[in-house]
Structure 1
Amino acid sequence: MLAASLVLGIGLLPWLSRTDPALTVLKARSAERDPTPEALAAVRDELGLADGPMRLLARWLGGLLHADAGRSWISGTEVLPGAAQALGVSLLLMAGSLAVAVGTAAAVCGRSLWLGSRRRLGARAPGGTVTAVLAALPEFLVAAVLASVVGVQLGWLPALGWYGPQWMVLPSLALGLPAGAVLGRMLDDLLPGAFAEPWALATAARGIPPGSVARMALRRCVPGLLPNLGLFVVGLTGGAVAVEQVFDIPGLGRLTLRAALAQDLPVLQTGTLALVLLAATAGALTRLAARLLIGPALRDGALHSLHRPAPPAPRTLPLVYGVLLTAVIGLGLPRDPLTLDTGARLQAPSWAHPFGTDALGRDILARIAHGSLDTLGIALAVSATALATGILLGLLPRLSGPVVDTVNAVPPVLAGLLVTAVAGGGAWTPALAVAAVAWSPLATHTTTLIQQERATTHLTATRALGAGPWYLLAHELLPAVLPPVARHALLRLPGIALSLAALSFLGLGSQPPSPEWGLLLAENQPYAERAPWAVLAPAAVLALLGALAVTAAGGVRLPRRRSPARPARLPGPPAEVKQAMPTPPRTPVPTSPTD
């Protein structure tokens, strides 16, 4: 039903945007052609626009039953072959990006695996600065740097087009590195709890090799990440619009974006439907894989909570990053971000202009500082909204499950177009678009953790002692789930800022002369080779924001439970249960809960 509503909304896009679809199609076909009343009437008659959107949608759906998605309103070619080819390109790019993401995630959590498998549980992994920088780098900026430096200047790999395996390397790196950094941090967050479980504590006495312990710990933690991995898969396919634009890749994301901008409804509806089907397939496969890996333990209630009290995280790095970010903003706010100086165009950093100037002679430090007020404020508001929505809907998996699969299939760019059509353009358009889709990973994470926490032996024992559902939710489930989901939300904060920047980068958000960070990157990208500081300065501030968010996320921890000698207000078991309770036998050496 939700997927049908999405396709219906796509079909109504030209009418929702209050624009004449005939004029848009005519301009897309030939920008030089004069839109005379006769020409517009000919387009309306050719496309059947006079019949209205509902009849057009009904004809398109009827054609799908016969494997016919209609013809493009712009080129006149059949839609289905072109969409299938674009989907194949996007799936190949997704496979390459996923391989890079898995390798990056393995590198991020490698130290924790090595320490945990050798029983050095007290040692802490590094603060994650490199990971934060990788997670916070804009994909379109990474793509532009790789294309210009590796592809053009060094000539090591081809930078434009899609003609073979070599053309996959650079775009796969641009997409896979940030996604792998986020996945690696999420896995690194679960590993300490896995290594502290009874089965892992018994491995030293049994002499099991560290490599086997590490593999069992991975198997224990991976099911909790699989649903989010499915979301990443769909995001790497439909959300790679900016990267496909930079590398000139004929993928599904770029095809859908161009169709949306030109209001080519048959192509747009077919591309959206393909993304929805891909999201549903990926979600079903990841849920099946998680059930196969850990299903028996969920059924038998034989799990232990992975989220337990941990030593306080070091506060030095978040403090340093916060001071640096505050200093950059504080130094730039007294400066005027709109002052033009054509005699100081593209000047290198100096005492007068610490971050240099842009193509119009404006001070980049001033523009970054003033843009931070909008970028950071909106990103924080969207993150808080996504966290609250994700937790609430994650507690209702039967309601949120189908919604997540559909919402995740909508790239932020397409969501931005839909929001722009309904609410109009403006600075808050990207915020509404990103907020509409940003909650789904957090809801999926919440649902997965709730499912596993309900299957823990501790919760089973607490329920047997007479605890009701509200007590379990307030005192057991939420305290165990809120900290990791909050850490996940902090990890997503740079990504939300990047999504806002990407929408502005593509022209769907703030307009010049606004100093919004995404717009800064879009304005200065053409001068990246001549004046790299104009691009590197806002990118470095984004990376600093990512470092602050990732290191601060380590401080969100589960509060320590009260001592068992002073239990919480929990009713004891009924008298007949006490009489029937046998003396517990000697517990054998535990094994992995997933075996």
Structure 2
Amino acid sequence: MKAALTRAAGLVAVLAAVGLLPWLSGEDPARRLLRARSAEQDPTPEALDAIRADLGLDSGPSGLLGDWAAGLVHGDLGVSWVSGTEVLPSVLAGLQVSLVLMATALVTAFLVATALVVPVLVRGRGTSGGVAAMLAAVPEFLLATLLLIVAGVWLGALPTSGWADASYLVLPALALGVPAGGLLGRLVADALPAVLDERWVELWRGAGVGRARVAAGALRRVLPPLVPQFGMVAVGLTGGAVAVETVFAIPGLGRTAIGAAKSQDLPLLQGTVLALLLLGLTVGALSAWLRRALLGPALRGAGLTLPAPHAVRVPVAVPLALAAVLAAAIGWGLLRDPYAIDTAARLADPSSAHPLGTDALGRDVLARLGHGAAATVGTATVVGLLGWLLGLALGFLPSLAGGLADIANALPPVIVGILVAAALGPGTGGAALAVALVSWPPLAAHAAALVLEVRASGFLLAQRAIGAPPLWILSRHVLPAVAAPVARHAVLRLPGIALALASLGFLGLGAQPPSPEWGLLLDGTADYVERAPVAALAPAVALALLAALAVALSGYTGRARPPVRGNRKGAGPGGPVRVPRADAHPEAPVAV
């Protein structure tokens, strides 16, 4: 009940934030609108008063929110501040395009996941876990850029922009569907080996049941507990679609939202963000319904869970090698000047003076990579610290955290980034805030599981029996046992946070020029990929190495265990307690 109330309160808060977008920045909305319509016109009191009267802004924030909510009830999303047309038709047109793109991407994801799962069903053991993890970790904006450059520009095989016939769907669907399919395939392939080792499988095989029927039974056993995570994958497509639609100039809902945020067309932005939010919540509700349908009436209240999956073993040398390559490039770049302009050396090839060449202004690419990484890693560290503190605090309040996590999981970082940019303006601080607001759920889930185990231990029962104060138990035993493992988990998620920040920078919602932030670099270098391929692809390679490092580190998140004293099995009044793996939700929302 508490979780449901928290979920409802969180949804109301998000809707109120959307409705109050014109006032959240603290700047006069009339002034912002005047600047959006005509940057040269002076903001005279007469002009501002005319705009307020025309749009009803003179009623203040409460009146504006009330008018917006009343319009929603009647299906009226208002009038665009820039074009003067009704918002609802634009939102519906963009939604139609986005739904077609997402449906095609889901089909692609299903095909990729099937290719990853079939070998596990045939052999009984997974051999594609590393491939699936790598596909899942590639950000949509990075894959979209690489597909555009290779398949569209270099090979000229497929259209690179627009929305006409089916051929325009191929590259965007691959960019969206391949990472989603990698994640779906990884979730199922990781769980299947443990399920195939269960007793019922042995009995079925001993009774002569065919391999196809055993495989179907194993899938039926695996799917219900994973359906909520499948829903998160589908929600993630709404965030990934923003980047993919921007890269390929597709007139969908995400690209419309980005354009509205940049032009300060707040009514249109409110409509598009509301549609994206409702789309995410609808997907979450459908996933809950599908889980109940798969379980059937007999098992709906059984709390069906999966056995612990077999971990994908990554040799420790792999993350060390990736970290060493990145550190060497960053360290070398930090010794150089990232802002020095040499117009005579524009788009120069790699040389001893410029090991990775120069950009369109003659700036050294290696220097910009090094300084951009330092800024990105520093921001990611701050975001990780905030997520750790928030996750740790909410781990002690599971009923509150559950409802808030549902709202956070329905909002990809890109959507939150659009809202923050509309309210505060684009910038590094806004991007960090957007990622921090949605990156805490897996840490809170990890903390809650550890709190449950520590509180059920025999050692703490003995402490209570001898009269130890609750504050003493909390500060000396529970908190130290929980904080350290969750901190290690937070550190291992830093590469994913950095990728999320880079995606916002790529979309123009994060760091602004002339900052050398990696996502911003990738966005600015794609225009001259044919003339200077090394300089143009250097940010893409660096981001790919960062994604590979995130994959290599994800295999270590399950090793953090609390130092529980006394009863090692954690047997308390409620019986043994099993702590779920810390990477049970490896792709929880830090990636776009």
**Which TM bucket (shorter chain)?**
0.7 to 0.9
Q: After superposition, where does 1:104-143 map in structure 2 within 5 Å?
A: 104-116=112-124, 121=125, 125=127, 128=130, 130-131=131-132, 133-143=134-144
Q: After superposition, where does 1:305-320 map in structure 2 within 5 Å?
A: 305-307=306-308, 313-320=314-321
Aligned 8 A contact 1:144 1:246 in 2: yes
Identity %: 51
Determine if the alignment matches structure 1 residue 280 to structure 2 residue 281. Answer: yes
Offset of residue 557 of structure 1? 4.2
Alpha-carbon separation, structure 1, partners of 2:312 and 2:254: 44
Offset of residue 305 of structure 1? 5.0
Alignment correspondent of 2:293 = 292
Name whichever of 279-288 and 157-166 sits farther off.
Answer: 157-166
Per-residue Cα deviation, 1:472-498 (whole angstroms, up to 9, x for no partner): xx9xxx9xx999999997896554323
Q: 1:242 to 1:555 in 2, by over 3 A?
A: closer
Alignment correspondent of 1:80 = 88
Alignment correspondent of 2:28 = 20
Aligned 8 A contact 2:499 2:547 in 1: no
Unaligned ranges ≥5, structure 1: 455-461, 575-595
The amino acid that maps onto 1:497 is: A
Determine if the alignment matches structure 1 residue 4 to structure 2 residue 12. Answer: yes
Per-residue Cα deviation, 1:490-510 (whole angstroms, up to 9, x for no partner): 896554323211222233322
The amino acid that maps onto 2:127 is: A
Determine if the alignment matches structure 1 residue 96 to structure 2 residue 121. Answer: no
Name whichever of 80-89 and 351-360 sits farther off.
Answer: 351-360
Q: After superposition, where does 1:115-264 map in structure 2 within 5 Å?
A: 115-116=123-124, 121=125, 125=127, 128=130, 130-131=131-132, 133-152=134-153, 154-264=155-265
Alpha-carbon separation, structure 2, partners of 1:248 and 1:310: 40
Secondary structure of 2:513's partner? coil
Q: 1:540 to 1:236 in 2, by over 3 A?
A: same
Aligned 8 A contact 1:345 1:361 in 2: yes
Alpha-carbon separation, structure 1, partners of 2:219 and 2:489: 19
Alignment correspondent of 2:518 = 517
Offset of residue 161 of structure 1? 2.0
Offset of residue 433 of structure 1? 0.9
Alignment correspondent of 1:41 = 49
Determine if the alignment matches structure 1 residue 57 to structure 2 residue 65. Answer: yes
Alignment correspondent of 2:501 = 500
Alignment correspondent of 1:587 = none
Q: 1:305 to 1:127 in 2, by over 3 A?
A: closer
Determine if the alignment matches structure 1 residue 266 to structure 2 residue 267. Answer: yes
Alpha-carbon separation, structure 1, partners of 2:533 and 2:208: 55
Q: 1:37 to 1:153 in 2, by over 3 A?
A: farther
Q: 1:192 to 1:485 in 2, by over 3 A?
A: farther
Alignment correspondent of 2:583 = none
Offset of residue 109 of structure 1? 4.2
Alpha-carbon separation, structure 2, partners of 1:290 and 1:446: 25
Alpha-carbon separation, structure 2, partners of 1:559 and 1:521: 35
The amino acid that maps onto 1:374 is: A
Aligned 8 A contact 1:310 1:558 in 2: no
Alignment correspondent of 1:363 = 364
Per-residue Cα deviation, 1:439-494 (whole angstroms, up to 9, x for no partner): 346668999x99xx99xxxxxxx99xxx99x9xxx9xxx9xx99999999789655
Alpha-carbon separation, structure 1, partners of 2:219 and 2:122: 12
Q: After superposition, where does 1:391-470 map in structure 2 within 5 Å?
A: 393=394, 398-420=399-421, 426-440=427-441
The amino acid that maps onto 1:150 is: A
Name whichever of 219-228 and 169-178 sits farther off.
Answer: 219-228
Secondary structure of 1:244's partner? helix
The amino acid that maps onto 2:166 is: P
Q: 1:93 to 1:487 in 2, by over 3 A?
A: farther
Alpha-carbon separation, structure 2, partners of 1:559 and 1:8: 39
Per-residue Cα deviation, 1:207-253 (whole angstroms, up to 9, x for no partner): 44444333333333323332222222223225522221222222222
Give the TM-score, by structure 1 length.
0.78
Q: 1:365 to 1:572 in 2, by over 3 A?
A: closer
Q: 1:390 to 1:108 in 2, by over 3 A?
A: farther
Q: 1:394 to 1:306 in 2, by over 3 A?
A: farther
Aligned 8 A contact 1:486 1:556 in 2: no
Alpha-carbon separation, structure 2, partners of 1:297 and 1:441: 26
Aligned 8 A contact 2:488 2:560 in 1: no
Alpha-carbon separation, structure 1, partners of 2:381 and 2:258: 27
Alpha-carbon separation, structure 2, partners of 1:165 and 1:76: 32
Alpha-carbon separation, structure 2, partners of 1:366 and 1:286: 46
Aligned 8 A contact 1:21 1:263 in 2: no
Q: 1:324 to 1:410 in 2, by over 3 A?
A: same
Alpha-carbon separation, structure 1, partners of 2:222 and 2:486: 15
Aligned 8 A contact 1:427 1:510 in 2: yes
Offset of residue 397 of structure 1? 6.0
Alpha-carbon separation, structure 1, partners of 2:152 and 2:387: 38
Alpha-carbon separation, structure 1, partners of 2:121 and 2:396: 31
Alpha-carbon separation, structure 1, partners of 2:138 and 2:62: 42
Offset of residue 97 of structure 1? 1.6
Alpha-carbon separation, structure 2, partners of 1:395 and 1:313: 32
Aligned 8 A contact 2:319 2:552 in 1: yes
Aligned 8 A contact 2:235 2:284 in 1: no
Offset of residue 423 of structure 1? 6.1
The amino acid that maps onto 1:348 is: D
Secondary structure of 1:159's partner? coil
The amino acid that maps onto 1:428 is: G
Secondary structure of 1:250's partner? coil
Offset of residue 260 of structure 1? 3.0
Alpha-carbon separation, structure 2, partners of 1:445 and 1:91: 34
- Tell which has more relative contact order, 1 or 2 (C-alpha 8 A, sep 6+): 1
Alignment correspondent of 1:457 = none
Per-residue Cα deviation, 1:253-296 (whole angstroms, up to 9, x for no partner): 22223333334333233223323322222111111222332364
Q: 1:491 to 1:175 in 2, by over 3 A?
A: farther
Q: 1:416 to 1:312 in 2, by over 3 A?
A: closer
Name whichever of 404-413 and 276-285 sits farther off.
Answer: 404-413
The amino acid that maps onto 1:177 is: V
Tell me the matched-pair count: 541
Aligned 8 A contact 1:357 1:364 in 2: yes
Q: 1:509 to 1:555 in 2, by over 3 A?
A: closer
Q: 1:399 to 1:513 in 2, by over 3 A?
A: same
The amino acid that maps onto 1:235 is: G
Aligned 8 A contact 1:279 1:406 in 2: no
Q: 1:273 to 1:307 in 2, by over 3 A?
A: same
